[in-house]
């Protein structure tokens, strides 16, 4: 690409791009890199990242713990903790290459691990992983587990997203779901842990916007043992999704109704189905502190699919497209044309209503 | 003349366009456009035509002052932002905030338009901007409309409501035409006067409908086969009593 970047102004707004092959066909990490490069000007070089699903077939049954360490001591303490609770099948440096524009990397390690035993009969494997992530991120200074799902992984840094993709050699990975993010931080400083995606277990979120309700959401999540340690508002989004979907058993659609509930005037419409209205009212009341207020467009990856989702009044852009078994979602249509030459259908999703691409059951089972 | 825009950064692309216009080119065809912003931005020349093949980036024809632009595909967000004069034809869908603060000229979109279309469009003396959209519109259509004319045709609706919620919120000038049935729930009558379009009002948009029909292969007859509703502000200061004055 013959680009000469214009450094004289910030034309801003984070950029998102994502794709899913419903049939589980693998796509090279080169594709999301090129898509997010098209959205270069939406970021400002202060953060970016990717999440890929299906990328670790050799360790598909292990939790892939991606970890950044800012000191050797942080690594020692974390590894002591992990060895106490997990069987570690394999651990290694996350492969990177020296890349212009990416500097001062923390130590990047990944562990393919399985909880050795759960701490109580009611606690599942996933709870053990979640508690370990919270404990490391909160209690061990300079250690952060930034990705903890099975057969998936997040790759993030400070820099421009396409450079970050090269740094992590993502063209060497293949996945059936990818999300990508170019960051334009507005409220907090740029650091590696604060870049997107934000992940817990198999959930990952990349986000364009800002969460005005961060304080309320964070206090609410603390009651359920989630600790916000990464200094970026988007962190609450992934923990809310884990709470609502994994722990409370809500469907993805219903979790979206919680994050961006219909306005009261919509619930009160005379032609609204009474049962539907009762459900929506109950969700709003029960989960008032889980409502995410403020402008957002997110891509939410998980082990069963990909979700694109907007705030209720469309304060951030989002476009979707389909081709055969592929679903593409992005901040701008141009990035979709990088991922897919001639989509069958391009449309703008309705604000407050998720676009969901499900993996076929043959892929997830 | 033709310009191959593949892989060209927006800044260089727009420099090439301005250079060509400066040399006296009146017809410029852009090939392989994909996401470059500000195409036609601030461009002058009433006799200049730009044809865009591919999907142009945000703020297409922003501050444009005279030329005619044809986008042969979909357009992204923010086209005709603060446009002053000229004509924009989008032969597909257009994104959010079409014609934000637009001051003159016209925009014709064959398909759907996104959210906040025509927000704070305005008119002054002989300057009166027009946006005609052939499909449906998202929420906040004509929000804070201060002047000019929005026309929403709904020729193809694809199962969507003609216009989204909060249509005309804060309108204090200009008019919105809706063709055919719409959901009254989406149009609050607190600040909006709603009436069927009379002969004079239809006459006022006849040329714009003809331009739409000609550009996108419709007949005036099919466009006029449904009745039009006109929305106008009840007051030029709808929120005058909200913060300070006692009503």
| DSSP per position, A14-26 | -EEEEEEETT---
B170–chain A nearest CA distance, Å? 16
Cα A297 from Cα A14, distance rounded (Å): 10
Task: Extract the runs of DSSP E, i.e. beta strands, from A104-237.
Answer: 107-115, 143-147, 152-157, 174-175, 177-182, 198-200, 203-209
Residue B122 has pLDDT above 90, yes or no: yes
Give B220-228 contacts, CB < 8 A, sequence gap 24+. B222/B155, B223/B153, B223/B155, B223/B179, B226/B179, B226/B180, B227/B179, B227/B180, B227/B196, B227/B197, B228/B177, B228/B178, B228/B179, B228/B196, B228/B197, B228/B201, B228/B202
B229 Cβ under 8 Å from any chain A Cβ: no
Q: Which residue of A7, A14, A333 to mutate against B (max B Cβ within 10 Å)?
A: A333
Residue B7 has pLDDT above 60, yes or no: yes
Is there a domain that residue B176 lies in? yes
Decide: B46 and B68 in contact? Cβ < 8 Å. Answer: no
Q: What pLDDT is recorded for position A210?
A: 92
What number is the average pLDDT over the span A247-253? 97
Assigned token pair, A241: 């999704």
Sign of the torsion formed by the C-alpha atoms of B196, B201, B202 and B206? negative
Is there a domain that residue B230 lies in? yes
Assigned token pair, A135: 């404990």
Residue A266 has pLDDT above 80, yes or no: yes
Q: β-strands A152-157, A143-147: how paired?
A: unpaired
Is there a domain that residue B214 lies in? yes
Going across the sheet that includes A63-69, the strands are: A86-93, A107-115, A63-69, A143-147
Q: Which of A11, A41, A333 sits opposite B55 (nearest CB)?
A: A333
B35 Cβ under 8 Å from any chain A Cβ: yes
> Domain residue spans in chain A?
15-364
Q: Do A2 and B7 touch (CB under 8 A)?
A: yes
Cα B57 from Cα A73, distance rounded (Å): 48
Sign of the torsion formed by the C-alpha atoms of A115, A120, A121 and A127? negative
Closest CA to A26 of A361, A334, A333, A363: A363
Residue B22 has pLDDT above 80, yes or no: yes
Assigned token pair, A20: 């899913």
CATH code at position B216: 2.160.20.60
pLDDT tens per residue across span A161-210:
999 999 999 999 999 999 999 999 877 888 999 999 999 999 999 999 99
Categorize the per-residue pLDDT at B239 as very low, low, confident or very high, splitting at 50, 70 and 90.
confident
Q: How far apart are the first and last CA of chain A?
A: 40
Decide: B39 and B30 in contact? Cβ < 8 Å. Answer: yes
Q: Mark which residues 51-80 of A lie under 8 Å from B by CB.
A: none
Q: What pLDDT is recorded for position A311?
A: 97
From chain B, pick out residues whose CB is under 8 angstroms from the CB of A269.
185
The reply to whether CATH 3.60.20.10 applies to domain A15-364 is: yes
Average pLDDT, chain A: 94
Is there a domain that residue B28 lies in? yes
Q: Which of A41, A269, A314 sits opposite B115 (nearest CB)?
A: A314
Domain count, chain B: 1
A312–chain B nearest CA distance, Å? 10
Q: Do A346 and B93 touch (CB under 8 A)?
A: yes
In 3-state terms, what secondary structure has residue A32? helix
Is there a domain that residue B30 lies in? yes
B55–chain A nearest CA distance, Å? 6
Is there a domain that residue B103 lies in? yes
Q: Do B74 and A314 touch (CB under 8 A)?
A: no
Residue with tokens 């400070």: A158
- Number of CB pairs < 8 Å for A and B? 68
Element (H, E) at A285: helix A274-286
A285 Cβ under 8 Å from any chain B Cβ: no
Residues of chain A above pLDDT 70, percent:
95
Is residue A228 among the annotated active site residues? no
Is there a domain that residue B247 lies in? no
Residues 6+ apart with CB under 8 A from B16: B3, B8
B192 Cβ under 8 Å from any chain A Cβ: no
Lowest mean pLDDT segment, chosen from A7-16, A49-58, B33-42: A7-16
Q: What pLDDT is recorded for position B240?
A: 83
Q: Is the pTM of this model over 0.90?
A: yes
What number is the average pLDDT over the span A227-249? 96
Q: What pLDDT is recorded for position A7?
A: 47
pLDDT tens per residue across span A111-146:
999 998 766 666 799 999 999 999 999 999 999 999
Q: Which residue of B6, B14, B58, B190 to mutate against A (max A Cβ within 10 Å)?
A: B58
Residue A2 has pLDDT above 50, yes or no: no
What number is the average pLDDT over the span A259-270? 94
Q: Do B139 and A332 touch (CB under 8 A)?
A: no
Q: What pLDDT is recorded for position B90?
A: 98
Closest CA to A170 of A102, A81, A86: A102
ipTM of the complex: 0.95
Q: What pLDDT is recorded for position A10?
A: 55
Residue A11 has pLDDT above 90, yes or no: no
Residues 6+ apart with CB under 8 A from A72: A107
Q: What pLDDT is recorded for position A187?
A: 78
Decide: A92 and A164 in contact? Cβ < 8 Å. Answer: no
> What backbone torsions phi and psi does residue A222 show, to the nearest 5 degrees?
-60, -30
Residue A63 has pLDDT above 50, yes or no: yes
A344 Cβ under 8 Å from any chain B Cβ: no
> What backbone torsions phi and psi does residue B109 show, to the nearest 5 degrees?
-120, 125
Residue A109 has pLDDT above 50, yes or no: yes
Residues 6+ apart with CB under 8 A from A43: A14, A15, A160, A161, A182, A183, A184
What number is the average pLDDT over the span B4-9? 97
Decide: B43 and B21 in contact? Cβ < 8 Å. Answer: yes
Q: What pLDDT is recorded for position A119?
A: 64
Q: Do B34 and A5 touch (CB under 8 A)?
A: no
Residue B181 has pLDDT above 90, yes or no: yes
A6 Cβ under 8 Å from any chain B Cβ: yes
Closest CA to B50 of B88, B77, B15, B23: B88
B27–chain A nearest CA distance, Å? 24
Decide: B130 and B107 in contact? Cβ < 8 Å. Answer: yes
Q: What pLDDT is recorded for position A6?
A: 47
Lowest mean pLDDT segment, chosen from A110-119, A188-197, A256-265, B34-43: A110-119
In 3-state terms, what secondary structure has residue B68? strand
pLDDT tens per residue across span B81-91:
999 999 999 99
Closest CA to A13 of A161, A195, A164, A183: A183
Cα A278 from Cα B207, distance rounded (Å): 49
Sign of the torsion formed by the C-alpha atoms of A230, A234, A240 and A246? negative
Q: What pLDDT is recorded for position A1?
A: 40
Closest CA to A243 of A211, A179, A200: A200
Cα B95 from Cα B112, distance rounded (Å): 8
Domain that holds residue B208: 2-242
Q: Do B114 and A39 touch (CB under 8 A)?
A: no
Cα A307 from Cα B10, distance rounded (Å): 31
Q: Which of B35, B54, B116 sits opposite A332 (nearest CB)?
A: B35
Residue A252 has pLDDT above 70, yes or no: yes
Closest CA to A183 of A18, A29, A12, A7: A12
Assigned token pair, B215: 């550009």
């Amino acid at each position: 690409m013959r680009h000469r970047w214009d450094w004289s102004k910030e034309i801003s707004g984070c950029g998102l791009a994502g794709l899913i092959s419903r049939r589980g066909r693998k796509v090279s990490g080169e594709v999301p890199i090129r898509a997010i490069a098209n959205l270069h000007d939406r970021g400002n070089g202060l953060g970016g990242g990717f999440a890929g699903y299906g990328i670790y077939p050799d360790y598909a049954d292990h939790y892939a713990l991606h970890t950044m360490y800012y000191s050797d001591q942080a690594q020692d303490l974390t590894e002591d903790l992990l060895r106490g609770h997990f069987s570690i099948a394999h651990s290694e440096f996350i492969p990177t290459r020296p890349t212009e524009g990416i500097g001062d990397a923390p130590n990047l390690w990944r562990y393919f691990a399985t909880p050795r035993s759960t701490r109580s009969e009611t606690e599942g494997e996933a709870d053990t992983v979640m508690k370990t992530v919270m404990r490391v991120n909160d209690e061990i200074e300079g250690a952060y587990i930034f990705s903890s799902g099975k057969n998936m992984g997040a790759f993030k840094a400070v820099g421009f997203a396409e450079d970050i993709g090269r740094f992590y050699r993502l063209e060497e990975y293949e996945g059936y779901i990818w999300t990508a993010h170019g960051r334009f931080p507005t409220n907090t400083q740029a650091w590696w842990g604060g870049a997107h995606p934000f992940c817990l277990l198999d959930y990952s979120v990349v986000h364009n916007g800002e969460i005005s309700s961060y304080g309320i959401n964070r206090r609410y999540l603390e009651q359920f043992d989630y600790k916000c340690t990464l200094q970026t508002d988007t962190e609450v989004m992934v923990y809310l999704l884990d709470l609502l979907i994994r722990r409370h058993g809500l469907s993805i659609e219903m979790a979206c109704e919680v994050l961006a509930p219909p306005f009261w005037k919509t619930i009160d419409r005379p032609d609204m189905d009474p049962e539907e209205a009762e459900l929506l009212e109950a969700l709003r009341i029960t989960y008032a502190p889980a409502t995410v207020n403020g402008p957002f467009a997110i891509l939410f990856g998980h082990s069963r699919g990909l979700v694109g989702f907007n705030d209720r009044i469309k304060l951030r852009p989002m476009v979707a497209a389909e081709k055969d078994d592929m679903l593409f979602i992005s901040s701008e249509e141009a990035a979709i044309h990088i991922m897919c030459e001639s989509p069958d259908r391009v449309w703008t999703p309705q604000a407050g209503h998720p676009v969901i691409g499900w993996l076929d059951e043959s892929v997830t089972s | 003349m033709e310009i191959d825009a593949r892989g060209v950064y927006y800044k260089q692309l727009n420099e090439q366009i301005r250079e060509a216009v400066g040399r006296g080119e009146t017809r410029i065809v852009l090939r392989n456009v994909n996401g470059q912003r500000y195409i036609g931005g601030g461009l002058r020349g009433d006799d200049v035509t730009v044809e865009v093949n591919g999907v142009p980036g945000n703020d297409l024809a922003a501050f444009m002052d005279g030329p005619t632009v044809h986008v042969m595909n979909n357009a992204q967000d923010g086209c005709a932002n603060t446009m002053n004069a000229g004509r924009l034809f989008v032969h597909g869908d257009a994104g959010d905030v079409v014609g934000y603060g637009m001051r003159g000229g016209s925009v014709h979109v064959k398909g759907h338009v996104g959210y906040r279309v025509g927000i704070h469009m305005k008119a002054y003396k002989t300057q009166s901007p027009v946006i005609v959209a052939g499909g449906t519109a998202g929420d906040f259509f004509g929000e804070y409309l201060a002047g000019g004319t929005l026309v929403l045709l709904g020729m193809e609706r694809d199962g969507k409501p003609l216009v989204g919620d909060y249509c005309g919120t804060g309108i204090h000038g200009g008019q919105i035409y809706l063709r055919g049935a719409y959901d009254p729930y989406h149009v609050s009558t607190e600040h909006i006067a709603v009436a069927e379009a009379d002969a004079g009002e239809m006459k006022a948009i006849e040329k714009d409908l003809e331009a739409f029909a000609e550009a996108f292969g419709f007949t005036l007859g099919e466009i006029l086969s449904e009745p039009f509703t006109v929305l106008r502000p009840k007051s030029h200061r709808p929120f005058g009593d909200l913060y300070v004055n006692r009503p």
